[in-house]
Amino acid sequence: MSGVRVGPLAPEDLPRAAEIQATAPEAWSLSALEEELASPCGRLFGLWREGRLEGSAVFQLILDEASLLSLTLEPDCRGLGLGRRLLEESLALLKAQGAARCYLEVRSQNEPALSLYRRLGFEETGRRRGFYQSPPDDALLMELPLPG
């Protein structure tokens, strides 16, 4: 896809990232994004299409373990392969920073996300029953090794 790039978010990108986040059920606020970006463990990445920020991914990297906390695209960008691009390139950047594996949790009813994660090789490792409240749902725990 020409005109698409993925890279780290800067502080000036966070208001737009918060707008994108607001379209998700478990949205991150601007202050939460700012706090995560300021954290030594926080890793925030964006996907720009034709120069406009259209997606964001929030990770934490602790030692060699990355955790995906949020992956959100503008609604009109969903289903175009951009989520996969954002996740793949973010994982490559994390791997370059020393990540050996990535963990995530996802709603058990979120079929588009589950399909993406499974296509990339994430495997289910557990379930947290009743984890999500609005609407009620279980969380599936997933893991992906990032081999050397």
- Of 34, 54, 74, 105, the active-site residue reads 105
Assess whether 105 carries a catalytic annotation: yes
DSSP-based three-state secondary structure for 111: helix
Q: Which two tokens stand for residue 128?
A: 């947290």
Angle at 148 between CA 100 and CA 7, to 5 degrees: 70
H helices present in 12-135, as ranges:
14-21, 30-38, 82-96, 111-119
Whose tokens are 């030594």? That residue is 40
89 is a catalytic site residue = no
Amino acid in the structure at residue 68? L
What single-letter amino acid sits at 102? C
Q: Which one of the listed residues 34, 54, 117, 132 is annotated catalytic?
A: 117
Catalytic machinery residues: 105, 117
